[in-house]
A and B are shown apart, each in its own frame.
Chain A
Amino acid sequence: MSVVGKIVNSRWFSPLALLAAWEAGSRTGVIPERTLAAPSEVAGTLFGMVVSGELPSNLAVSFGRALTGLAIGVIVGVVLALTAGLSRKGEAAIDPLMQIKRTIPTLALTPLFIVWFGIGETPKVALIAFASMFPVYLNLYSGIRGVDLRLLEGARSFGLSRAEQVWHVILPGALPSLLVGLRYSLSISILVLVVAEQINASAGLGYLINNARDFMRTDIIVVCLMVYAVLGLAADWLVRTVERRALVWRPSLVEA
């Protein structure tokens, strides 16, 4: 294959070509700056915002919101899933409520949350927590219920108490499902973060974007979009790393 052919067939080619076309369009004036800033200008802005500390400080605020909301949501989701998964009474009490909650899009609750919690940090964190709770709940609950009954019976035949069965069999058996739920929760928390930060924020990525919109700084908007993308990638990487360590017993991972 010729060198040109190799380049054209590479997976990097089309994104780079798009970037080049974008740059060329901006330089020639085909794409006005108020529509979309040139990639080179975005890079410059990114550098400037990092050096000035504007981006890191606002990123930290956003990161804190997402992490707090996520932590609350995951903890509540895990507790509810354990209660519903391990006891019939818990299931009867919790599962119907969670299924009802599932039918309401979390973001539609934004106005109500603003009425309840005002426009400070609380509604933002609450929205993220509320949204990220469900994937963890649903996956862990079905994971617990899907644990191989033969393994459980085997453990029972060796005289393990109920608590030991939960610890040695049910929870490890449900762990893969929990991690799937965690991955969903992470991406949802970032999604909700984007919307929640539009609520009268005075710091954070959403604040930067809102501000930039008012001054038509498309370069700053693009920088923030990139940061959101990086956050999503980082979240995915995090769960993959946890999975690789926690599920090391799986054959596909054992062989790898």
Chain B
Amino acid sequence: MDARLNFLSDAAPVGLAPLHGEPPVVRLRGFTRRFGENTIIHDLNLDIAPGEFVALLGRSGSGKTTLLRTLAGLDGTDGQDVTVPTSRAVVFQDARLLPWKKVWRNVALGLRGPDVRQRAEAALREVGLGHRMDAWPLTLSGGEAQRVALARALVREPSLLLLDEPFAALDALTRIRMHDLVLDLWRAHRPAVLMVTHDVDEAVALADRILVLDEGRIAAQDRISIPRGERGELARPYREKFLQILDGTARADGVIPFPHGIPA
């Protein structure tokens, strides 16, 4: 296997301690979430460092959206050991813009202060929509709506940005342009990012670290040290490995069940 692709086969788990020695912005210990009889998330440990870009891969029903909702504060934590920053913002798969508010008012939703319009305008310029300030959301294309949603999230300068399959409903070309935009915004603002996706290519192209969630457990994770833009050939081996993990054929030999140094 490619030496750079130390995923799963490496004896020592990689990059699981905080990146810069700073305390993590997200910290979950033994987090469990049940709906009635069903355990959706099972005894999960997770750290996300400040400024780290994490992709969360998983099939439908793997618990990835539940995890994101917990981090977004949309579901209660029942007093479990969960640390998330108060400054966080979500971009949903459907942009969830309020159709009765003009674009800039959607961006400014919940903002306080005298220069709200200027801040919204700056954020919209950043996503290339400075000219659609006064448009009605229902007149936007899918890609534009998602860019407005990004602007609405970033105008809050969150220390944690949560992306819930934000590009799943977009066409392939728009998606690639959105990837570039997200990376640019991430580099400019440096929030920690947790992006839920089911697209391996997307995860490989964007993330510092990939988590694979299966049946409420982290089935695997890896840090990608190769610079973005040189990862073209990485997606295929990753995809094969993920499939093996999810099929159960690779579970025994290389899976890193939990971050290093965290008691299981």
CB-defined contacts of B176 to chain A, threshold 8 Å: none
Residues 33-81 of B at the A interface (beta carbon under 8 Å)? 72-74
Are B100 and A157 touching (Cβ within 8 A)? no
Contact check: which of A158, A173, A175, A247 meets B110 at CB < 8 Å? A158
Are A154 and B92 touching (Cβ within 8 A)? yes
Are B100 and A172 touching (Cβ within 8 A)? yes
CB-defined contacts of B110 to chain A, threshold 8 Å: 155, 158-160, 164
Chain B residues touching A, majority SS: loop
Whole-angstrom distance between the alpha carbons of A168 and B98 in the complex? Answer: 8
Are A254 and B96 touching (Cβ within 8 A)? no
B200 at interface (Cβ–Cβ under 8 A)? no
Are A158 and B139 touching (Cβ within 8 A)? no
CB-defined contacts of A169 to chain B, threshold 8 Å: 98
A89 at interface (Cβ–Cβ under 8 A)? no
Query: Nearest chain B CB to A150's CB is how many angstroms away?
Result: 6
CB-defined contacts of B90 to chain A, threshold 8 Å: 154, 157-158
Whole-angstrom distance between the alpha carbons of A247 and B136 in the complex? Answer: 11
Contact check: which of B94, B109, B136 meets A158 at CB < 8 Å? B109
Mask: chain A, 158-172; 1 = CB below 8 Å from B; 0 = not: 111000100011001
Whole-angstrom distance between the alpha carbons of A193 and B152 in the complex? Answer: 50
CB-defined contacts of B139 to chain A, threshold 8 Å: 251, 254
Query: Nearest chain B CB to A252's CB is how many angstroms away?
Result: 10
Are B96 and A154 touching (Cβ within 8 A)? yes
B147 at interface (Cβ–Cβ under 8 A)? no
Whole-angstrom distance between the alpha carbons of A35 and B92 in the complex? Answer: 69
Q: How many residues of B contact A (CB 8 A)?
A: 20
Whole-angstrom distance between the alpha carbons of A158 and B86 in the complex? Answer: 10
Mask: chain B, 165-195; 1 = CB below 8 Å from A; 0 = not: 0000000000000000000000000000000
A249 at interface (Cβ–Cβ under 8 A)? yes
B262 at interface (Cβ–Cβ under 8 A)? no
B99 at interface (Cβ–Cβ under 8 A)? yes
Mask: chain B, 124-165; 1 = CB below 8 Å from A; 0 = not: 000000000000111100000000000010001000000000
CB-defined contacts of B89 to chain A, threshold 8 Å: 157-158
B223 at interface (Cβ–Cβ under 8 A)? no
Whole-angstrom distance between the alpha carbons of A249 and B92 in the complex? Answer: 22
Question: Considering only CB atoms, which chain B residue lies closest to A158 in the complex?
Answer: B110
Whole-angstrom distance between the alpha carbons of A78 and B138 in the complex? Answer: 28
Residues 134-183 of A at the B interface (beta carbon under 8 Å)? 150-151, 153-160, 164, 168-169, 172-173, 175
Whole-angstrom distance between the alpha carbons of A150 and B73 in the complex? Answer: 14
B101 at interface (Cβ–Cβ under 8 A)? yes
Whole-angstrom distance between the alpha carbons of A175 and B98 in the complex? Answer: 13
Query: Nearest chain B CB to A136's CB is how many angstroms away?
Result: 20
Whole-angstrom distance between the alpha carbons of A157 and B98 in the complex? Answer: 14
Query: Nearest chain B CB to A103's CB is how many angstroms away?
Result: 35
Whole-angstrom distance between the alpha carbons of A106 and B192 in the complex? Answer: 61
Query: Nearest chain B CB to A256's CB is how many angstroms away?
Result: 13
A6 at interface (Cβ–Cβ under 8 A)? no
Query: Nearest chain B CB to A160's CB is how many angstroms away?
Result: 5
Whole-angstrom distance between the alpha carbons of A254 and B103 in the complex? Answer: 14
What 8 A-B pairs have minimum CB-CB distances, sorted nearest first? A154-B96, A172-B100, A157-B90, A158-B110, A249-B136, A251-B138, A249-B100, A160-B110
Contacts A/B (CB < 8 Å), 8 sampled: A150-B96, A154-B92, A157-B72, A157-B89, A158-B109, A173-B100, A175-B100, A251-B138
**Which residues of A come within 8 Å of B, CB atoms?**
150-151, 153-160, 164, 168-169, 172-173, 175, 247-251, 254
